[in-house]
């Protein structure tokens, strides 16, 4: 959970990053996204990405270890963007915000499992990024809401519950409506998420 959910003011933590670094990273991310629209990830090289971003390979490697690290960042950014559209800045850990988060995750899963042409190529990485991002949001919310030493454990349990339920729901061809599936999940995890014990 090393990356920050930028834009969501969870506990007002912000990391200052050089604007030139951000600009270069955005160019590399945009280049990969464009190339993915044209072909398979397996066929894309670091040189292709660098050329499309108008940087040299050394610049690429100063920002990312390899094309898989760039892909992970791209997937993570896409999920963050999706969550930011749903979560209000400065949102706190509450039953309403937990429902908003769960709905956003289910919605994201529905979109990626039905439209992602590259799902077979990088499905496990996408799933890992989703799990990490969900736990990051929950962990920061819970940390800000209380000094509960078990907060990290609660975030992991809730994160896996949300992730597993959304994944199972998205794969089910005869799935229940999303709102019903979310309400069913919250009926199970909600009471323990907000218990004072």
Q: What is the pLDDT of residues 125-134, one digit of tens each?
A: 878 888 888 8
Q: What is the pLDDT of residues 35-93, one digit of tens each?
A: 999 998 989 999 999 999 999 999 999 999 999 999 999 988 888 888 878 887 777 88
pTM: 0.74
pLDDT level of residue 182 (50, 70, 90 thresholds): very high
Percent of the chain with pLDDT over 70: 83
DSSP one-letter string for 34-100: HHHHHS-GGG--HHHHHHHHT--HHHHHHH-SSHHHHHHHHHHHHHHHHHHHHSPTT--S-HHHHHH
Which pLDDT value is given to residue 181? 97
Q: Where are the domains of the chain?
A: 17-64, 72-193
Closest CA to 137 of 1, 14, 16: 1
Q: Architecture of 17-64 per CATH?
A: Orthogonal Bundle (1.10)
Q: Mean of the per-residue pLDDT values for the chain?
A: 84
Q: Are 28 and 53 in contact (CB under 8 A)?
A: yes
Q: Angle formed by the axes of helices 151-171 and 119-145, to 10°?
A: 150
Identify which has the larger pLDDT, 179 or 136: 179
**CATH class, range 72-193:** mainly alpha
Same fold yes or no, 17-64 and 72-193:
no
The C-alpha atoms of residue 114 and residue 8 are separated, in whole angstroms, by 27
pLDDT level of residue 118 (50, 70, 90 thresholds): low
pLDDT level of residue 195 (50, 70, 90 thresholds): confident
Q: What is the pLDDT of residues 1-28, one digit of tens each?
A: 334 444 444 454 556 788 999 999 999 9
């Amino acid at each position: 959970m090393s990356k920050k959910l930028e834009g969501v003011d969870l506990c007002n933590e912000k990391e200052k990053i050089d604007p030139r670094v951000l600009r270069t990273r955005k160019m590399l991310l945009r280049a990969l996204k464009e190339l993915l629209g044209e072909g398979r990830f397996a066929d894309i090289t670091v040189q292709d990405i660098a050329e499309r971003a108008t940087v040299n390979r050394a610049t690429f490697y100063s920002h990312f270890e390899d094309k898989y690290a760039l892909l992970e960042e791209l997937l993570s950014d896409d999920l963050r963007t999706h969550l930011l559209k749903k979560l209000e800045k400065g949102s706190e850990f509450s039953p309403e915000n937990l429902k908003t988060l769960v709905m956003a995750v289910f919605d994201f899963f529905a979109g990626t499992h039905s439209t992602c042409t590259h799902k077979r190529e990088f499905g496990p990485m996408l799933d890992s990024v989703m799990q990490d991002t969900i736990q990051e949001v929950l962990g920061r919310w819970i940390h800000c809401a209380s000094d509960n030493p078990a907060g990290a454990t609660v975030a992991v349990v809730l994160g896996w519950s949300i992730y597993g339920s959304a994944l199972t729901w998205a794969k089910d061809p005869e799935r229940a409506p999303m709102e019903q599936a979310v309400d069913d999940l919250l009926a199970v995890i909600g009471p323990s998420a907000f218990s004072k014990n």
